[in-house]
Structure formats: C-alpha cells, structure tokens
Amino acid sequence: MVEVLHLAAVLPATVGLCCAVGDRRGRARSVAPAAAMLLAMLAMAVGWPVVPPLSWAGLLVALGVGAAAGLRHGPAGDAAGDGDAVASHARHMQLHRALGLVLGAGLLVVSAAAHAGPAASAHAGHAALSSPAVAVLAGAAGYLVFTAWLVVRSLRRRSPVVGVVEASAMGLMTAMMAVVPLVG
C-alpha cells in the first residue's frame, strides 16, 4: 500500500513540474525545486537505493529555505493598478512552494521511517506515530488549509490557472504523502 501511495504521489509532482515550466514569471525559482520534488517522489516510489531519503530531504529543505529567502526580495508591484495583486499572488505562491518543500522533506523522512517498519510500541495493524511524525502531520494539515485558501483566493481573483493547478497538485501530493505514515 505504501508503494502505491508513493507512486500515486508522482502524478501531482509531475503536474507541479509542468506548471513550473509553464509559468513564465517564476520559471527560474520554481523549476529546480519542482524537479527535485519529482525526483524525490520517483526515488521513494521505485526505491532507488542510490540516494537515501535523508539526502533528498536535505536537498528539499535547502531549496525550501532558498525559496523562502527569495520572499524578502520578491517581485514588486508595477505601476499598473493590479500590480500589487499580481505581486501578492506571486508572493503567496512562493511561500506555498517554500513551505511545500520543507514539509515534503519532513514527509519523506517520516514516510521512510514508517516504511522501514512499525515501532515496537505499535499495536497490530496500527503504526506508532512518534512526536516528529505527529508534528509533520500537523504541518501537513495546516499546509492543506493554506492550499485550499490559496486556490479559492486565486480563483476569486482570476489569477493565472497555472498557479491554481500547481497549488492544487502540491496539496494533493502532500495529502498522499501524509497518508503513508498512517498506513505504513
């Protein structure tokens, strides 16, 4: 079941990469993280032993921190009336990507630990959730709420559909990854 969930998470990661490539404004800052996330999902799905999950997690955290650092010097609004709205949407999308990368790293580690086998304190049929796993799953729940808010806000403001699809794909991938420790 765990392998099926990892494999299913590859689809939204692929969609996220396609959206990053298709987004002309944020291409440089979004393609590399989306590609890294897709490769990490593929590695988890097919069990590539070459790069351990902790290494993927480290790379995703580094990319997430880099994306968050870009928020300080993010795009400024232009002289047009809707420049502030465009800049605000771009900053929210950048924040969503940064949080998604860091959370994805945590979910990779928790998923790898769940896949390695249940703890001795687990009951039959129930995985034992450690404090870090509970914290990561709580973060996933908060991220999904943020994703829903961002999608609704983007649709109401008629933001580019590429951002809506990218945020939705990242939210779906997060939801799938969050299920792994619960069934692992």
Residue with tokens 């890294």: 36
- Percent of the chain scoring above 70 in pLDDT: 80
Question: Could you tell me the pLDDT band of residue 125, with boundaries at 50, 70 and 90?
Answer: very low
Q: What is the pLDDT of residue 102?
A: 96
Q: What is the 3-state secondary structure (H, E, C) of 140-154?
A: HHHHHHHHHHHHHHH
In this prediction, residue 148 carries a pLDDT of 97
Which comes out higher in pLDDT, residue 136 or 183? Answer: 136
Q: What is the mean pLDDT of the chain?
A: 81
CA–CA gap between residue 143 and residue 8 (Å, rounded) = 19
Q: Name the residue with higher pLDDT: 100 or 11.
A: 100
pLDDT attached to residue 84: 76
The answer on pLDDT for 114 being more than 80 is no
Residues 42-81: pLDDT tens digits? 888 887 777 888 899 999 999 999 988 887 765 544 444 4
Residues 159 and 171: their CA atoms lie apart, in Å, by 18
Domain count of the fold of the chain = 1
Q: Specify the pLDDT at position 183.
A: 82
Which DSSP string do the residues of 67-133 spell out, in sequence order? HHHHHHT-PPP-SSTTHHHHHHHHHHHHHHHHHHHHHHHHHHHHHHHHHH---TTPPTT-PPPPHHH
Residue 127 has pLDDT above 70, yes or no: no
Question: Does the structure show a pLDDT above 50 at 99?
Answer: yes
Percent of the chain with pLDDT over 90: 31
Determine the structural domain holding residue 113 and report its residue range.
2-183
> pLDDT for 128-172, tens place per residue?
578 888 999 999 999 999 999 999 999 998 888 888 899 999 999
User: Which one has a higher pLDDT value, 104 or 159?
Assistant: 104
